[in-house]
Amino acid sequence: MKSLKSKKNQKEFFEFKSRPLVRKGSTVYYGDINEKYVVKMEIVETKKVKDLDVASRVGLMMIETSSKITDSQKIVKISEKNGLYPALDIAEAWLERAQ
């Protein structure tokens, strides 16, 4: 992962496979908000590995970014994965296929 500095608001974001990755609490957004879709990942369950809490269950939702539809219509796909890396892999596949 590398960081990306947005020219519009000068905030620094991490990138995974050339897409922004933004975390707030237990929610991770993956994808560019200026594209048609982003993937919202909710960390549902964690487990302790030494001193760290590691995501063990992650819920995913592919969301349309259009403001012209209702929130319930924005959800395109839903899934759940065991771990953050499998969740990122499926999120990348969803966004890649949606292009």
For the entire predicted model, the pTM comes to 0.81
Give the SS3 label for residue 46: strand
Of 60, 31, 30, nearest to 43 (Cα)?
60
What pLDDT, in 10s, does the model give residues 20-77?
A: 999 999 999 999 999 999 999 999 999 999 999 999 999 999 999 988 888 878 999 9
- Tell me the β-bridge partners of 53: 48
Closest C-alpha among 23, 24, 35 to residue 88:
23
> Is the pLDDT score of 81 beyond 90?
yes
Distance between CA atoms of residues 80 and 12, nearest Å: 28
5 pLDDT exceeds 60?
no
Beta-bridge partners for 43? 58
Please give the pLDDT value at position 6.
46
Task: Please report the pLDDT score of residue 60 as a whole number.
Answer: 97
